[in-house]
Homo-oligomer: A and B are copies of this chain.
Amino acid sequence: MKDVNIGICGLGTVGGGTWEVLQRNARLIAGRAGCNLKVARVASRRPRPDLGLGDTPFSTDIYDVIRDPSIDVVVELIGGYDEARALVLAAIAEGKHVVTANKALIAVYGNEIFNAAREKNVIVAYEAGVAGGIPVMKAIREGLAANRINWLAGIINGTGNYILTEMRAGRAFDEVLKEAQDLGYAEADPTFDVEGTDAAHKLTIMASAAFGVPLQFDRAYTEGISRLTPYDISHAEALGYRVKHLGIARSREDGIELRVHPTLVPEGNLIAKVDGVTNAILVDGDAVGQTMYHGPGAGDEATASSVIADLVDVARVVASGSDQRVPYLGFESEAVTDHQILSADEFRSAYYLRIQALDKPGVLAKIAAILSDQGINIESIMQKESELHDGHIPLILLTHTVLEKQVNKAISEIEALPEVEDQVVRIRAENFL
């Protein structure tokens, strides 16, 4: 049986997990791949004596892996932007295939990297970067290849979903975030998780493969969960919704919506029931309808599972010497279109609005008139006399689907009313129809 030589750069969480699983399941993986996935060299800033690398050459210089002519595939697991970009481009320049778990790298530098790889006819695979252990890129790029994909929506940041799940019990954002950090879910600097940057990286990648457009991370709209309150979460629940931090990509005639934000989801939808640190992605295709993919979005061995799935795919190409390729983003480069990414003003969504208004006659009529002037229909309305405070009571509205700029216009007019205090709380809602 042929050996395919693998070089791992970065022996942290995912690198360590990849090493472990490749050792433990070596025979089984070879039985599937039809060749041996041999780790021929590893490099990381610090040694990992706990891993028992044995005879495998180790160095602290990751470029030793690139320079080793025996290496067929470079696994980039150092993370970050610039160093990873340089490393991956150097690997490609040497004619080596690349497997990475780095969604930031692919979302931001993917177009450049794929162009370089196409020139050299090498593979760059990144399943592990999107939703950890869930083989969702394979589903989008291959399993759903027959479909015009209409939209996809996902819980794609486990930390954020954990925080939202805990906030359902009335706990405040800051308190739960602290706990998530203590449990090791959130990064020490958690902004990537809670502000939606990490989710936007993954969403950008999925959207490109779903719709056949170049990666455009800088055009993704991103809103975090830090300003959500248990108060609004529980009122959304009273209306029959759960609040989830979703990445949503939708293809429309006039462009593509690419957005990450807290979202009301009908409680009957399976994705509303996904709690804790797990991820789930719902994909709607014109032929298949809705399919959902669910599982661990992070973790050493869960992420390694996807790294190794990519390695098996690449190893089959290396071992058979074949020219057969699945295109980087699921579409041949000639088939990629530049369908534009829409600005937030152009989003179509339903909206949850909470307005603090004076409890006196005529106020509701004024608000209703403003909404109606903007062509906004109201789906349901909830007023809580019991929550009267300083003469103001909360008025909670759920709108039908409407253009976001109309909602924003209505909100500024409502906020300008003398009877209204504070800012209007606005949370988007989706019915997935």
Contact = CB atoms under 8 A, between A and B. Distances in A.
Contacts of A302: 287-289
A11 B31 CA distance: 37
Interface in A319-369: 320, 322-327, 330-332, 334-335
A394 interface: no
Contacts of A291: 133-135, 293-296
B142 A313 contact: yes
A100 interface: no
A32 B335 contact: yes
Contacts of A312: 142, 145-146
B324 A320 contact: yes
Contacts of A21: 146, 287
Contacts of A212: 28, 31-32
A33 B309 contact: no
A169 B367 CA distance: 42
Interface string A300-318: 0110111111001100110
Contact of A32 (B22, B307, B327): B327
A138 B145 contact: no
A83 to B, nearest CB: 26
A379 interface: no
A338 B22 CA distance: 24
Contacts of A32: 141, 145, 212, 327, 330-332, 335
Contacts of A30: 335
B145 A29 contact: yes
A168 B139 CA distance: 33
A274 interface: yes
A326 to B, nearest CB: 7
B288 A301 contact: yes
Nearest to A22: B146
A59 interface: no
A36 to B, nearest CB: 12
A293 B296 contact: no
A25 interface: yes
A32 to B, nearest CB: 5
Contacts of A274: 270
Given A31-B334, A133-B287, A134-B291, 18 more contacts: A17-B287, A21-B146, A25-B287, A27-B335, A29-B146, A31-B332, A31-B335, A145-B309, A146-B304, A270-B274, A286-B301, A287-B302, A290-B295, A291-B294, A292-B292, A320-B324, A320-B325, A324-B324
20 contacts: A25-B147, A25-B287, A28-B335, A32-B332, A135-B139, A135-B143, A135-B291, A139-B139, A139-B143, A143-B309, A270-B270, A270-B273, A287-B302, A287-B308, A288-B301, A289-B296, A291-B296, A292-B293, A320-B322, A322-B322
